[in-house]
Chains A and B, each alone.
Chain A
Amino acid sequence: MDLSVKKERRYHSKIHPQKFALWAGCASIVMLFAALTSAYIVRKAAGNWLEFKLPVQFFYNTLVIIISSITLQASYYFFKKGNAQLYRGLLVVSFLLALVFLGMQYSGWLSMESIGVELAGNPSGSFVYVISGLHAAHLLGGIAAIIVALVHAFILKYKVTNQRKLRFELTLTYWHFMGILWIYLLLFFILQ
């Protein structure tokens, strides 16, 4: 991003500063969701709580996001190995899977509404909408990063450089983080 970053990295950095910064950013996202899920627990303990079944799309979607993480990781593997075709192909697949995930989340919200669990109803439903919606909003950031990766993959000449490796690793880290976050949220909803 900035030259000074590369220039000044010297004595104490086992990890690249930008990667470290991304991890720090992830920590703040963890706190955001930790706050919401603890609010869920506190509110649930107070009673007047509607019980309902999570939409089935949420479960299929978990598979989708796991597969997208795998394809993205594989794309990175082939990027480093010098297989430009698989690198580009798998990147496109990951991008499409990301869109599928968003679409299925939306259809999940629709089916929640169809069984009468509305956003403006009992807080038990509102929490699921808001938490999964906020996750989707953060996922948009990941999709934006994948779009940037796509632009690089198809416009720039194929070349393995440290800078491009770093960019890819940052995208990858964030995408895996989004997947793990979703799995946490789903387990939370199931177990709560």
Chain B
Amino acid sequence: MSVVNYDEDVLIKEQGFDDHFHDHHHGDKYQSNFITTYIFSQDHKIIGKQFLITGMIWAIIGAGMSIIFRLQLGFPDDSLTWIKPLLGKWITVNETTGIGTLAPEFYYALVTMHGTILVFFVLTAGLSGTFSNLLIPLQIGARDMASPLLNMLSYWFFFIAGVVMFCSLFLSTGPFAGGWTAYPPLSALPQASDGSGAGMTMWVASLVLFVVSVLLGGVNYITTVLNLRTKGMTMWRMPLTIWAFLITAILGLLSFPVLVSALLLVMCDRGLGTSFFLSEIFVGGEALNHVGGSPVLYQHLFWFLGHPEVYIIILPAMGLTSEVLSVHARKPIFGYKAMVFSILAIAFLSFIVWAHHMFMSGVNPFISNFFVIFTLIIAVPSAVKVFNWIATLYGGNIRFVSAMLFAMGFVSLFISGGLTGIFLGNAAIDIQMHDTYFVVAHFHIVMGIAAFFGMFAGIYHWFPKMYGRFMNETLGRIHFWGTMIGAYAIFWPMHYLGMAGVPRRYYRFDNFETFSHFSQMNQFITIAAIIVFFLQILFVVNFFVSIWKGKRVTTKNPWGATTLEWTTPIDAGHGNWPGNIPAVHRWAYDYGKDGVEFIPQIVPLTDEEKENEADLH
């Protein structure tokens, strides 16, 4: 057993790279007063926090909406008068029966906004925006992003997109109500429904601004990872988080423009009278001029973004999980290269499976075969990843801290949600399953809750790096166990509803004889959803209280991790390292090597290690 002795500061000074960063005081130019430090900041760490906190606000709004429509589904006979002050005309209370009912259009608007907000604002911007910003420069050893200015703009475009979407909630005709996928004709004809007018226009404006934000951010992330890595940080020494963020950004860069082209054509149909997606339509008994369009064409374009989008959501969560599992199991990640190649494989496959969202919308069944096969092949790299996570845990010296609990919860959810994906990937099974609660259960577990768990793991794990304090551990564990059990309580029963054929997007079931016996199950789901919602409020409270009152971090590297972000000062200023940038000598997962608990990436190889490495080549 050998003991490695090192002093981090000495190592960084002697081995590190002097980029003359501190010779000039340009770093201060954007950290000189309150506004440039906290609002129009160009420092990646602050921008990461901005993405996170904005995402949290949106998460509360989006989840709050789901509680309102769950109340309608779970308690269709209750008065619900108490939410009338909030919803106003969108809820009617029958005076004789005392039953309160959401306006049907408003129910659709809630479902639409819930999807849009969670998919784009929370799980894209709030997840990859937060952690790509926080971790890319810190973990690859860079002073900041390639272009801090574009990085700042990326946040502010996201912010404006949010403002536009938020304003649309208060339109007298309501926000867009045609589903988060915005299929024509509901999206392409302003007169098709209440939300299709101004609501849809604002929805498109907001999404285009959002895509600008994603592209500015993505270009920056890719450029930074490929060009600004520190000395010794080869691609194969990057932590898996960085691999995940890199591939996520590439996916976004290649798929979001396709969404823009679809929305452009939708806007032409709406405003300029073209017929890209419209054909032979009657509204209110009146025949429209539009001839020759194809609504399925929109679906092709939309899902060409839409499918990569689910990996844009899940890949960062996978990266965070891999890192957290390895650190807290005190073991190297199992199968590092296999993990990277499976990320690459998943990313590649994500571009050739989009039509599995359209099996029942009239695409040629022979073409469906092609998409079924590629969809099922995604199970292979996914299974490789799951196997490696479990193998990483196996025999590990596991520390059951909140971050680790959420990372393990991610693996559990990814397995249960992923397995139902194999059902739904089959075109034949979709004849029964399509548009039922089975689909709702599948995607909420595999990309909703699982992605949230990856995000929570990341927040609990890197909170000390963000704020120099820990989050409360007891509240964190309550948050984990409550959410873990609660999330399964919400979505497990939905599989049964779906198999029984209960369709999604119906705002009440009590007047259908076939589905009325599910009313108690719906009630159960609603109660579970409300409990889980309040547990998230508990998390938010824990987050903000801990920023000011949490237990202080006293050492630079509280978790005993190997990666570079833990070599920065506890309260790292602009430029991240006060002196030289550290040089990297080894991969990110030297845990338990030769009896040493962990060896940071900045520690040079010993002579023995050098010999071993030479033998390998």
> Contact residues of A with B, CB < 8 Å?
1-5, 7-13, 15, 17-18, 20-21, 24-25, 27-29, 31-36, 39, 42-43, 46, 48, 119-120, 122-123, 126-127, 130, 134
Measured between C-beta atoms, what is the minimum distance from A192 to chain B in Å? 15
Shortest beta-carbon distance, B228 to chain A, in Å?
Answer: 5
A123-B300 contact, Cβ under 8 Å, with A11-B231, A12-B229, A17-B223? no
Please give, as numbers and ranges, the residues of chain B lying within 8 Å of A35 by CB-CB distance. 257-258, 261-262, 301, 304
- Contact status of A9 and B261, CB under 8 A, knowing A3-B24, A31-B255, A39-B300: no
Does B227 lie within 8 Å of A20, measured CB to CB?
yes
With a CB–CB cut-off of 8 A, which chain A residues contact B592?
A: none
- Complex A-B: 14 CB contacts under 8 Å: A3-B26, A8-B228, A12-B227, A21-B220, A21-B222, A24-B218, A24-B253, A25-B219, A28-B256, A33-B261, A35-B262, A39-B261, A48-B292, A120-B272
A13 to B231, CA, bound (A): 11
**Min distance, Cβ B268 to any Cβ of chain A, angstroms:** 6
Please judge, given known A-B contacts A29-B257, A36-B261, A123-B292, whether A18 and B147 are in contact too, CB under 8 Å: yes
Chain A binding site: helix, strand, loop or mixed by DSSP?
Answer: helix
In the complex, per-residue mask of B177-208: 1 if CB is within 8 Å of any chain A CB, else 0: 00000000000000000000000000000000
Q: A2-B149, A11-B233 are in contact. List 6 more A-B contacts (CB 8 A).
A: A11-B17, A12-B228, A17-B224, A31-B258, A46-B294, A48-B292
Least CB distance from A126 to B in Å reads: 4
Q: Which of B273-281, B473-481, B600-608 contacts A (4 or more CB under 8 A)?
A: B273-281
Q: Is B297 an interface residue (CB 8 A)?
A: yes
B341 at interface by CB-CB < 8 Å: no
Contact of B21 with A by CB under 8 A = yes
> Contacts A21-B146, A35-B304 hold; do A7 and B19 have CB atoms under 8 A apart?
yes
Contacting residues, chain A, for B42 (C-beta < 8 A): 2
| Interface residue from A3, A8, A15 paired with B142 (Cβ < 8 Å) | A8
Determine which residue in B222, B233, B261, B268 has the highest number of CB atoms from chain A within 10 A of its CB, and name it: B261
CA distance A34 to B256 in the complex (A): 12
Contacts of A130 in B (CB 8 A): 264-265, 268, 274
Partner of B273 from the list A1, A18, A120 (CB cut-off 8 Å) is: A120
A27-B254, A35-B261 known; A43-B223 Cβ under 8 A: no
Number of A-B contacts (CB under 8 A): 141
Q: Mark B240-262, 1 if CB is under 8 A from A, else 0.
A: 00000000000001111110111
The 6 closest A-B pairs by CB, nearest first: A120-B273, A32-B257, A35-B258, A35-B261, A126-B274, A31-B257
Q: Which residues of A contact B273 (CB under 8 A)?
A: 119-120
Check B226–A20 contact: CB distance below 8 A: yes
Which residues of A have CB within 8 Å of B294? 42-43, 46
CB-contact partner of A134 in B215, B233, B262, B264, under 8 A: B264
Question: Could you say which residues of chain A place their CB within 8 Å of the CB of B24?
Answer: 3
Is A28 a contact partner of B253 (Cβ separation < 8 A)?
yes
Are B219 and A24 touching (Cβ within 8 A)? yes
Least Cβ–Cβ distance between A120 and chain B, in angstroms: 3
Give the CA-CA distance A1 to B145 in the complex, in Å: 12
CB pair A42 B297 closer than 8 Å: yes
Q: Categorize the interface residue count of chain B.
A: 35 or more
| Interface residue B230 (Cβ < 8 Å from any Cβ of A) | yes
Please indicate the chain B residues that have their CB under 8 angstroms from the CB of A5 in the complex: 146-147
Report the bound CA distance from A43 to B297 in whole Å. Answer: 7
Contact assessment for B264 and A122 in the assembled complex, using a CB-CB cutoff below 8 Å: no
Given A12-B229, A43-B297, the answer on whether A20 and B223 have CB atoms closer than 8 Å is yes
Query: Are B253 and A27 within 8 A (Cβ)?
Result: yes
Find chain A residues with CB under 8 A from B260 CB. Answer: 32
> Do the beta carbons of A15 and B292 come within 8 Å of each other?
no
Residue B569 CB within 8 A of the other chain: no
Chain A residues with CB under 8 Å of B149's CB are 1-2
Within the complex, what minimum Cβ distance (angstroms) separates B266 from chain A? 11
**B151 → chain A, closest Cβ, in Å?**
10
Q: Does B143 contact A (CB under 8 A)?
A: yes
Known: A31-B257, A42-B297. A7 touches B223 (CB 8 A): no
Q: Is the CB of A126 within 8 A of B268?
A: yes
Q: Identify B276's interface contact among A12, A25, A31, A43, CB under 8 A.
A: A43
How far does the alpha carbon of A33 sit from the alpha carbon of B292 in the complex, in Å?
22
Within 8 Å CB of B220, what residues of A? 21
Tell yes or no: B323 within 8 A of A by CB: no
A10 touches B147 (CB 8 A): no
The contact of A8 among B19, B26, B274, by CB within 8 Å, is B19
Given contact pairs A8-B19, A43-B297, A2 touches B147 in the complex (Cβ within 8 A): yes
Minimum C-beta distance from A6 to chain B (A): 10
- Bound together, the chains give a CA A31 to CA B219 distance in angstroms of 14
Contact of A123 among B142, B143, B275, B289 (CB under 8 A): B275
Contact B254 A10 (CB under 8 A): no
Q: Tell me, yes or no, whether B64 is within 8 Å of chain A by CB.
A: no
Cα separation A25 to B222 with both chains bound (whole Å): 11
- Report Cα–Cα, A15/B274, bound state, in Å: 43
The listed residue (A32, A119, A120, A134) touching B258 by CB distance below 8 A is A32
Pairwise interchain contact A21-B230, C-beta atoms closer than 8 A: no
Q: Is B617 an interface residue (CB 8 A)?
A: no
Q: How far is the CB of B270 from the nearest CB of chain A, in Å?
A: 12
A12, closest chain B residue (CB): B229
Closest to B274 in A: A126
Complex alpha-carbon distance, A3 and B25, angstroms: 11
A15 CA to B265 CA, complexed, in Å: 36
Query: Known contacts being A8-B19, A24-B219, is A123 close to B272, with CB within 8 Å?
Result: no
Q: B148: which A residues are within 8 A, CB to CB?
A: 2, 4
Pick from B17, B146, B256, B257: contact of A10, CB below 8 A. B17
B274 near A120 with CB under 8 A, answer: yes
B1-38 interface bits toward A, Cβ cutoff 8 Å, 1 = contact, 0 = none = 00000000000000001011100101000000000000
Tell me if A28 and B254 are in contact (CB < 8 A). Answer: yes
Residue among B220, B226, B275, B292 with the highest chain A CB neighbour number at 10 A: B292
Q: Are A28 and B143 in contact (CB-based, < 8 A)?
A: no
Convert B271-312 into 0s and 1s, putting 1 for each residue whose CB lies closer than 8 angstroms to a CB of A.
011111000000000000101111001001100100000000
Q: Which residues of B have CB within 8 Å of A3? A: 24, 26
* Residue B590 at the chain A interface, CB threshold 8 Å: no
> Which residues on the B side are within 8 Å of A15 (C-beta)?
227
A8 partner residues in chain B, CB cutoff 8 A? 19, 21, 142-144, 228
Closest residue of chain A to B273 (Cβ to Cβ) is A120
